[in-house]
Amino acid sequence: MNRLGVDTGGTFTDFVWIGARGELRVHKVLSTPDAPERAILQGVRELGLDLEGLQLVHGSTVATNAVLEGKGVRTAYVTNTGFADLLTIGRQQREQLYELQPPRPSPPVPAELCVEVPCRIDSEGREVDALTGDALAALRDTLLRLEPEAVAVNLLFSYLDPVVEARIADVVPDGVFLSLSSHVLPEIREYERGMATWLNAWIGPRVAGYLRRLGHALGAVPVSVMQSSGDTVAATQAAEHAVRMLLSGPAGGLVAAREIGRLCGEDRLLTFDMGGTSTDVALVEASPRLTTEGRIGRYPVAVPMVDMHTIGAGGGSIAWLDSGGMLQVGPQSAGADPGPACYARGGTSPVVTDANLVLGRLQPDAFLGGSMALDKAAAERALAALAGAMGRDMLQAARDIIAVANEHMAQALRAISVKRGVDPRDHRLVSFGGAGGLHVCALADRLDIARAIVPVHGGVLSALGMLAARPGRQLSRSLVMLLQGAVDGDIDDELDRLRQQGVGELVAEGFDATEVAASPGADLRYAGQSYTLNLPWQGVGPTAGAFHAAHEARYGHRLDLPVELVNLRQSVQVPGRGVSLPDWQAGEPGTPHARCVAVGIDDDVPRYRRSDLVQGQRVAGPALIEETVATTWLAPGWHLDVDRVGNLLLARVD
């Protein structure tokens, strides 16, 4: 089969195609945010791909953008009597702790769409108030009157007994998208469970509509979608898991970074993915970490997702002055349309890409392999207007923009490493994304990291990761009990139920049940604590001992308290096709194809085509390494070596 990995970003849509004989091609087109499938179809046409025999694995921003832009559908929220305000009240945490008069955010669900149902089960799963037929009839009448496009049902303790939610599902009008909390996230914490259920319903029809249009356009082509956990799911099942797609694209980058690290013999990585709109950073030690405490915008998302830190700093981030005259970069972005001023598509605001162009780190004739010329004069005009307001000359303003953007990204890298007790100097910085290579040396210097990697095809690495990902599911269920006195067999039975559920979903995708591998885990805490640590499940005794050690490693101490089990987790996956990168070309070392002027460098800077470099070649900075989908600025004091598959291994000169 021919396989195509596609990552739809805010500015560009990236493609990596691997043919049946191992051939590999990459491509990039401008995104079409109003209808993302248009960019995908454009890329397929420009690559000249035959749809027959093609498989597509897709990372999509549709779910993410719908949440961030508040463009979900009209959704009714159904809950127990007295809990209509649950999602509005939340955890009562202030975003700005010392703001005495914080602005009141709009409620996730308008009051008129919050529907209460008279029923209740208690914390032991016992029925307290029965759901009557009259109550169900009244609920159906209410939903018919409200005419929602989606319904989210979140009842107290539904993870103990899903029967009542299932009865409510039976009276939801036909054609309305439905999410049940007992299906979406069967775990304790009614607020987090309710938020995940509502998000799933709120964006589900948007995701379903997009995937339906894409599927119609591609005909019989099998389509899989990347989930936030780094596993893929068939597009036919993806809509019901919409909330699990919120970090779809970035998860692909981490999967690919893990593979690149394996090829380089490195398993301790700090990843830095800089695109046109945002920058994602993460810690990868053997495999990407997962978290259930992620956030998208102002909403908590308790489903498993790759643990990363995202900031609004990308190549398209707009530079501006705040009310005090201080230079700010981002989070607003010029996006793909109109884009940076240098794109000559009507943009007039200065952005990071404009600054890199004016400083000579991007060349007008080398963007997208020369297929898209950059307008340096337009970039200079945009920067000059800002520089005048700053009282600086244009080149100094460009330097300032790069410095501010770099500091934002360095702080993000510290947040994912130093603030968690991890020394970044023990890790290798892996830079990818279309803009990552322009900033990798500066960020490594700021964190005192001596080694970095710019992966082969780094400008489209997330799309490559789509092809390296494994089909799978991350399943969970709350089972609250003290480990002391717990019986291994009882817990193993619950884990086996989760495994069978995952196997069933993968079999429905066409996989053989014998291929499925399961990895059980558990969320544990000391009795009385709120937060948990996730550990592999090894049985009652060994897991309790591992928890004490993990707690001491994370927090510096252990307690003489009983250990409590909170959630059981089961990761089920089938082997992926993987990605086997071809050997990079050997031969005589490539030479610069041109030289250019870079601000702050006395001599002309050599420009290399990455495709001209050969295995084992060393290049000393300063230099520009240009390729179709990205450019790397090799700063003074750094050199690079080309490895067997074409990765650039950067090292600071002693």
Inside any domain, residue 174? yes
pLDDT (0 to 100) of residue 78: 98
pLDDT over 90 at 309, yes or no: no
pLDDT over 90 at 96, yes or no: no
Inside any domain, residue 312? no
pLDDT over 90 at 60, yes or no: no
Instruction: Look at residue 231 and give its three-state secondary structure.
Output: strand
Per mean pLDDT, which of 176-180, 362-366, 465-469 is the most reliable? Answer: 176-180
- Residues 75 and 198 grouped into a single domain: yes
pLDDT over 90 at 616, yes or no: yes
Q: What is the CATH number of the domain that holds 76?
A: 3.40.50
- Name the DSSP letter for residue 230: S
pLDDT over 80 at 371, yes or no: no
Inside any domain, residue 375? no
- Residues 117 and 80 grouped into a single domain: yes
Inside any domain, residue 510? yes
Q: What is the CATH number of the domain that holds 548?
A: 3.30.1490
- Residues 496 and 614 grouped into a single domain: no
Mean of pLDDT values over 411-420: 90
How does pLDDT run across 232-253, given as a tens digit for each residue?
999 988 888 999 998 888 888 8
- Residues 559 and 606 grouped into a single domain: no
- Residues 555 and 627 grouped into a single domain: no
How does pLDDT run across 544-581, given as a tens digit for each residue?
999 999 999 888 899 999 999 999 999 999 987 777 88
CA nearest neighbour of 586 among 634, 646, 522, 536: 646
pLDDT (0 to 100) of residue 520: 96
Residue 533: other Cβ atoms inside 10 A? 18
- Residues 521 and 638 grouped into a single domain: no
Instruction: Look at residue 189 and give its three-state secondary structure.
Output: coil
Beta strands in 247-359 (DSSP E): 268-274, 279-285, 287-288, 290-291, 294-296, 299-301, 305-306, 308-311, 317-321, 327-333
pLDDT (0 to 100) of residue 276: 79
Last residue of a domain, one of 573, 605, 623: 573
Burial class for 470, CB neighbours closer than 10 Å (0-12, 13-18, 19+):
middle
365-389 burial code (b ≥16 CB/10 A, e <16):
ebbbbeeeebbbebbbbbbebbbee
Last residue of a domain, one of 539, 573, 607: 573
pLDDT over 80 at 296, yes or no: yes
Q: Hey, what are 162's tokens?
A: 């899903």
In terms of residue numbers, what domain contains 477? 470-573
CA nearest neighbour of 258 among 301, 287, 297: 287
Q: With bands split at pLDDT 50, 70 and 90, how would you rate the model's confidence at 68?
A: confident
- Residues 535 and 497 grouped into a single domain: yes
DSSP assignment of 430-452 equals EEESTTGGGTHHHHHHHTT--EE
Inside any domain, residue 212? no
pLDDT (0 to 100) of residue 279: 86
| Distances in whole angstroms, Cα of residue 345 to Cα of each of 258, 374, 595 | 37, 10, 28
Q: With bands split at pLDDT 50, 70 and 90, how would you rate the model's confidence at 277?
A: confident
- Residues 497 and 599 grouped into a single domain: no
DSSP assignment of 297-309 equals TTEEE-S-EE-EE
DSSP assignment of 122-150 equals -TTS-EEE---HHHHHHHHHHHHHH--SE
pLDDT over 80 at 41, yes or no: yes
How does pLDDT run across 490-531, given as a tens digit for each residue?
999 999 999 999 999 999 988 999 999 999 999 999 999 999
Inside any domain, residue 642? yes
Q: Give the residue with greater pLDDT, 152 vs 310.
A: 152
pLDDT (0 to 100) of residue 202: 96
pLDDT (0 to 100) of residue 19: 86
350-361 burial code (b ≥16 CB/10 A, e <16):
bbbbbbbbbbbb
Inside any domain, residue 87? yes
Last residue of a domain, one of 202, 224, 256: 202
pLDDT over 90 at 434, yes or no: no
Inside any domain, residue 547? yes
- Residues 565 and 614 grouped into a single domain: no
pLDDT (0 to 100) of residue 20: 80
pLDDT over 80 at 283, yes or no: yes
How many domains are there within the chain?
A: 3
Is residue 12 within 8 Å of residue 64, measured between CB atoms? Answer: no
Q: With bands split at pLDDT 50, 70 and 90, how would you rate the model's confidence at 113?
A: very high
- Residues 561 and 618 grouped into a single domain: no
- Residues 90 and 175 grouped into a single domain: yes
- Residues 508 and 623 grouped into a single domain: no
State how far the Cα of 116 lies from the Cα of 139, in Å rounded to an integer.
8
Residues 6+ away with beta carbon under 8 Å from 133: none
Mean of pLDDT values over 389-407: 94
